[in-house]
Amino acid sequence: MGSYRFVIASFAAALGLFASQAQAAEPESCRQVRMADPGWTDITATNAFAGVVLSALGYEQKVASLSVPITYVGVKKEQVDVFLGNWMPAQKALVEPLVKEGALEVVRANLPGAKFTLAVPSYVADAGVKTFADLAKFADKFDKKIYGIESGSPANQNIKKMIDAKSYGLEGWSLVESSEQSMLSQVARKEKGKDWIVFLAWEPHQMNTKFRISYLDGDKDYFGPNYGSATVNTVSRKGYATQCPNVGRLFAQMEFTVDLENKAISEVLDTKVDAKAAAAKQLKANPKVLDAWLAGVKTFSGEDGLVAVKKVLALN
């Protein structure tokens, strides 16, 4: 974590150094902001919040659908400017080498108080599965399977390492890889028949209100203690805040809450509205977040950013 703090401090220093440059129009190369979405509903939501604000400021957001490992390759090659989905500690093995070599900058924690670990339906927890160590006691009930997300994701790699090391007595277990939606379809099917399942879970996400789930405790090596207590960071390619100080300031000030994200996610999944429409609705309902996000931020052409965004959202 020492290298993380150093990079965050360096990023903050860069913001201070180039604050005066943010008053003037940025170079044309900064107009397009290249971002990534690994297909996770929470990152689709945060990208949508960013997209609404960027558009109102006169920027163009370009979001590529990329797996997490490919996203970091893109950051290293300076093909991705900003990624809002650095879940820690789950992505530690992927991110720390890039931080050490200076290929990636950790901008800030954009969602403190998140969760990311294994979970079970509440009726399974009530039957005695409350920790990672409890899984092996009921191996047959689970058919020795753990349901994960897309192949190659850091979370799946953590599960594979855990199984390969036979941690928590998980000898002979296997990982079922699919996608976020396919995994949750399995949860819905198993819950309907009160069958047993253990799967990756995180908050914010609609799964926390759609299903009655219990996060597992007792892990410190793979997803972290305290029921998978996690932090989601914003990361950028090296030098981004220096080259594009105005939009860099925006991302350095953009922080979400679990409640804000959950409401946008539920809007998208329950009513099938466009993610940016859901994000705009939440910003209209919570306009105070814009004050912090846009403090000192200008439009691409150098005008007051807060005024411009509120005008587009009809908040003036």
SS (H, E, C) the chain: CHHHHHHHHHHHHHHHHCCHHHHCCCCHHHCEEEEEECCCHHHHHHHHHHHHHHHHCCCEEEEEECCHHHHHHHHHCCCCCEEEEEEECCCHHHHHHHHHCCCEEEEEEEEEEEEEEEEEEHHHHHCCCCEHHHHHHHHHHHCCEEECCCCCCHHHHHHHHHHHCCHHHCCCCEEECCCHHHHHHHHHHHHHCCCCCCEEEEECCCHHHHCCEEECECCCCCCCHHHHEEEEEEEEECCHHHHCHHHHHHHHHCCCCHHHHHHHHHHHHHHCCCHHHHHHHHHHHCCHHHHHHCCCCECCCCCEHHHHHHHHCCCC
State the CATH number of the domain containing residue 199.
Answer: 3.40.190.100
Q: Where does a domain end: 229, 252, 284? A: 229
Question: What is the chain's pLDDT, residue by residue, as a tens digit (316 residues)?
Answer: 555 554 554 555 455 544 444 444 689 999 999 999 999 999 999 999 999 999 999 999 999 999 999 999 999 999 999 999 999 988 998 999 999 999 999 999 999 889 999 999 999 999 999 999 999 999 999 999 999 999 989 999 999 999 999 999 999 999 999 999 999 999 999 999 999 999 999 999 989 988 999 999 999 889 988 888 889 999 999 999 999 999 999 999 999 999 999 999 988 888 888 999 999 999 999 999 999 999 999 999 999 999 999 999 998 6
Torsion of CA 302, 22, 289, 283, to 10 degrees: 40
Question: How many domains does the structure of the chain reveal?
Answer: 2
* Last residue in a domain, options 213, 229, 245: 229
Residues 138 and 213 both lie in one domain: yes
Work out the number of other CB atoms within 10 angstroms of the CB of residue 100: 12
The answer to whether residues 170 and 224 belong to one domain is: yes
For the stretch 6-61, pLDDT in tens is: 455 455 545 554 444 444 468 999 999 999 999 999 999 999 999 999 999 999 99
Q: Are strands 82-88 and 213-215 parallel, antiparallel or unpaired?
A: unpaired
CB 223, CB 90: distance < 8 Å: yes
Q: Are 77 and 142 members of one domain?
A: no
84 alpha-carbon distance from chain centroid: 6
Residue range(s) defining the domain that contains residue 191: 115-229
d(Cα 314, Cα 310) in Å, to the nearest integer?
6
What is the chain's mean pLDDT, rounded? 91
In terms of domains, do 165 and 24 share one? Answer: no
| Residue 11 sits in the same domain as residue 55 | yes
- What is the token pair recorded at 224? 């972290």
Pair (221, 244) in one structural domain: no
- Give the pTM: 0.81
